[in-house]
């Protein structure tokens, strides 16, 4: 029944390797995620600027201010 249980030293080594792999994976994913979020934010800022300008423009007209 308990044949599959490895010795403690081996288990700790495997766990250390798994922990190291998980740490590096998480760091890589964190870096990729951060880069993606930063790129998305930049894209949103650049793509959203005209939209914000237009919405402000519409709000101006809605408020009765004619600019053109
Ligand atoms: Zn206008």
- Listed in sequence order, the residues at least 6 apart from 43 whose beta carbon sits closer than 8 Å to its beta carbon are none
Distance 30 CA to ligand 1 centre (A): 44
- Residues by chain with Cβ below 5 Å of ion ligand 1: 67-68
Which pLDDT belongs to residue 5?
62
Distance 45 CA to ligand 1 centre (A): 22
**Residue-range domain boundaries for the chain:** 2-62
For residue 56, pLDDT beyond 90: no
User: Which tens digits make up the pLDDT trace of 7-53?
Assistant: 666 777 888 888 888 777 788 888 999 999 999 988 888 778 888 88
Supply 68's token pair. Answer: 């053109």
Distance 46 CA to ligand 1 centre (A): 21
Which pLDDT belongs to residue 7?
62
Q: How far is CA 10 from the centre of its chain?
A: 36
Burial class (CB in 10 A: 0-12, 13-18, 19+), 39: exposed
Which pLDDT belongs to residue 2?
57
How far apart are alpha carbons 17 and 24 in whole angstroms?
11
Q: Are 67 and 57 in contact (CB under 8 A)?
A: yes
């Amino acid at each position: 029944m308990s044949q599959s249980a490895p010795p403690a030293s081996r288990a700790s080594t495997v766990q250390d390797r798994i922990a190291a792999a998980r740490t590096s994976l998480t760091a890589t994913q964190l870096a990729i995620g951060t880069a993606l979020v930063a790129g998305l934010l930049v894209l949103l800022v650049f793509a959203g600027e005209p939209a914000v300008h237009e919405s402000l423009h519409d709000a101006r007209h809605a408020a009765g201010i004619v600019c053109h």
